[in-house]
Amino acid sequence: MAHKMVTSFRRSVSFTNPPSYISSKPRKALHVRSTSLPCRSHPIISQLRDGISELTNSWSAAESGSRTSAWLCDGLRRLKAVHESLDDLLHLPQTRESLRRGAGECSNLIEKLLEDFLRFVDVYGMFQTLVLRLKEEYSASQIAVRRKDDLKVAAHSKNLSKIAKEIGKLCSNFISVGKLSTTAAAEAPYDDEAELVDIINDVLNVTVSVSALLFGGISNSPAFRKPSCMGLGFGKKSKNLKFEAGIREFQMVNLENLKKKTDEEMKIAAKKMHEIDDCILGIEFCGERAFRSLINTRVSLLNVLTQ
């Protein structure tokens, strides 16, 4: 894939600066803009900015009633596409040149970006493990409900609450993400390095936003948490993060209330629980694909440093 991208966009290095451009920053003779970051009209740059804008504006602005599991999966697919575009950008030789030059001029620029992306990879790896546990526990709870085993239903409900709480706590890992990269952008001696870091930092920020909606949406859902526990227990470090209301499908069934249901109501609840099970599967699948795209992006950054 790397070789294809280089071949496709090699012509972008021929663009020159507008005649009226005047920079107050010192430039080296060989470090001209046309051989570093691709111009703003470059397809990959435009693709990245459009993807970030869609996630930041239209997707994240969805009404609470529209926040379904399908909406979450759509956000994860969009996030995956953003990281794939960033991965394509990182394979361009002019991008690598800018980052390598930035690493020499700024204080460990690439290492700071690698640290942020490593945190994403770690958190999404934990999320995948927790979603797997959530899926298995919820499937077991359905069996207990069908058998009308109240003790097991209570035990599974307690376990689901613990898992959902752990998912909510994942957001606290993102407190420092992007801050180091912002500092690096301010220190960049050339406009092209600063612009590149700004784009990457936008990707970092939108990843944090989507993740907060994902983790908070699952954690604050009555299907997995007791109403008295939702929105609590995320720790002091996460007090500045915004946690959202639960996902619509996950509000349909509360295991704690099933004891009071009639046989007919239990049949309806069992059907809804099966639908929730399918929703969890969808989120697990889309989360795994987003996780892989995060790994690929970090590998590309690491290649900039080592190759």
Q: Residue holding tokens 């998912």? A: 167
Extract long-range pairs of 108-113: CB within 8 Å, 24+ residues apart: 109/184, 109/188, 109/193, 109/197, 110/301, 110/304, 110/305, 111/305, 112/180, 112/181, 112/183, 112/184, 113/180, 113/181, 113/184, 113/197, 113/200, 113/301
Q: CA 265, 269, 273: angle at the middle one, nearest 5? A: 175
The whole-model pTM stands at: 0.77
Q: How many residues does the chain have?
A: 307
C-alpha–C-alpha distance, residues 303 and 144, integer Å? 50
How far the first Cα of the chain sits from its last, in Å, is 16
Q: What is the pLDDT along the chain (307 residues), one digit of tens a residue?
A: 444 443 333 344 343 444 443 344 444 333 344 445 555 556 888 899 999 999 998 898 888 778 899 999 999 999 999 999 999 999 998 888 877 776 555 557 778 888 899 999 999 999 999 999 999 999 999 998 888 888 998 999 999 999 999 999 998 888 877 665 555 555 554 556 667 778 888 999 999 999 999 999 999 888 886 654 444 333 444 444 444 567 888 888 878 777 777 788 888 888 889 999 999 999 999 999 999 999 999 999 888 877 7
> Do residues 98 and 193 make contact, with C-beta atoms less than 8 angstroms apart?
yes
